[in-house]
């Protein structure tokens, strides 16, 4: 579904992605694992068209999207949840869900969003910022599904969350996958990653240094934690 070929990216003189190549198949959950500063956020921003200083190719469903602006990538079915979640503080849950435009035929009707995430239905009139961190993440993910995302690009959805809420995020990701949505997420918690994803790309200094399956992540958990400095 998504293929990235020798992608490089820079901020001014500093080249932070050094030729990243990776693939994510339809219906799969993949993670980007790596130390702070390895280039994971920049990679997701390049995929979404939000960081334009890049070279290399990005194919989505076999078509190159590398030169398309973000709104056209949205229309094709890419959905991005940034690390700050992007919840509008003064708007209700429902307004947060319905404000962005529906961009494609895969858009979830509001009823499907509420059926899949009943907490959002219960809280539909509350301000988005009155939700817990886990619920805000749920709202941010639900919003891109409502817009029509077929692949969810999520920047560390568990960051800063207590263990109970991390488990909730795991349930949300499994639910998203059950609905046939493909997921690429940044995740530092390798144990958690191995419980929600099918494969993992280890990123270091702007490169994919290894591609790992769950069995390998479990077997090498201590080594990976040490490597990540966690
Ligand atoms: N706006 C920017 N201007 C200049 N350099 C930047 C900018 N944003 C990120 N960088 C640098 O690019 C490199 C990659 O950053 P990036 O945020 O993509 O890494 P990351 O793996 O997502 O790490 P983190 O988890 O800390 O966000 C880092 O060295 C960072 O300092």
- What is the position in ligand 1's atom list of the atom closest to the CA of 42? 18
Residue the block writes with tokens 């194919």: 59
> Is residue 188 in contact with ligand 1, taking CB distance under 6 Å?
no
Domain coordinates of the chain in residue numbers? Answer: 2-228
Compute φ and ψ for 184, nearest 5 degrees.
-125, 115
pLDDT in tens, 28-40: 999 999 999 999 9
- The highest-level CATH class for domain 2-228 is alpha beta
Q: CA-to-CA distance for 141 and 39, rounded, in angstroms?
A: 22
* β-pair type (29-33, 54-60): unpaired
Query: Which of helix, strand or coil describes residue 76?
Result: helix
Which residue has its alpha carbon closest to ligand 1 atom 13? 37
Interface ipTM > 0.85: yes
Which token pair is 66?
Answer: 């590398």
| 199 against 101, higher pLDDT | 199
Q: CA-to-CA distance for 148 and 77, rounded, in angstroms?
A: 6
- What is the position in ligand 1's atom list of the atom closest to the CA of 17? 14
Distance 141 CA to ligand 1 centre (A): 23
pLDDT in tens, 87-137: 988 899 999 999 988 887 889 999 999 999 999 999 999 998 889 888 999
pTM for the predicted model, two decimal places: 0.94
Q: Per-residue pLDDT for 230 more than 80?
A: no
Contact 202, 43 (CB under 8 A): no
Order of strands, sheet of 199-204, starting from the edge strand that comes earlier in the sequence: 78-81, 151-154, 182-186, 29-33, 199-204, 207-213
């Amino acid at each position: 579904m998504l293929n990235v070929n020798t992608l490089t990216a820079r901020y001014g003189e500093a080249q932070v992605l050094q030729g990243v190549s990776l693939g994510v198949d339809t219906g799969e959950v993949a993670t980007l694992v790596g130390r702070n500063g390895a280039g994971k956020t920049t990679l997701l921003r390049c995929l979404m068209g939000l960081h334009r200083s890049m070279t290399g190719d990005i194919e989505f469903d076999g078509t190159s999207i590398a030169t398309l602006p973000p709104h056209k990538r949205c229309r094709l079915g890419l959905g991005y949840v940034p690390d700050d979640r992007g919840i509008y503080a003064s708007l209700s849950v429902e307004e947060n869900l319905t404000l962005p435009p529906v961009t494609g035929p895969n858009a979830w009707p509001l009823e499907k969003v509420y059926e899949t995430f009943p907490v959002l239905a219960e809280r539909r009139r509350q301000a988005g910022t009155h939700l817990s961190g886990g619920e805000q993440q749920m709202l941010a993910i639900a919003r891109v599904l409502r817009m029509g995302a077929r692949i969810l690009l999520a920047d560390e959805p568990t960051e800063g969350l207590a263990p109970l809420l991390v488990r909730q995020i795991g349930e949300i990701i499994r639910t998203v996958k059950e609905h046939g949505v493909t997921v690429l997420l940044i995740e530092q918690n390798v144990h958690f990653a191995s419980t929600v994803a099918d494969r993992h790309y280890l990123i270091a200094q702007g490169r994919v240094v290894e591609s790992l399956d769950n069995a390998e992540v479990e077997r090498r958990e201590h080594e990976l934690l040490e490597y990540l400095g966690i």
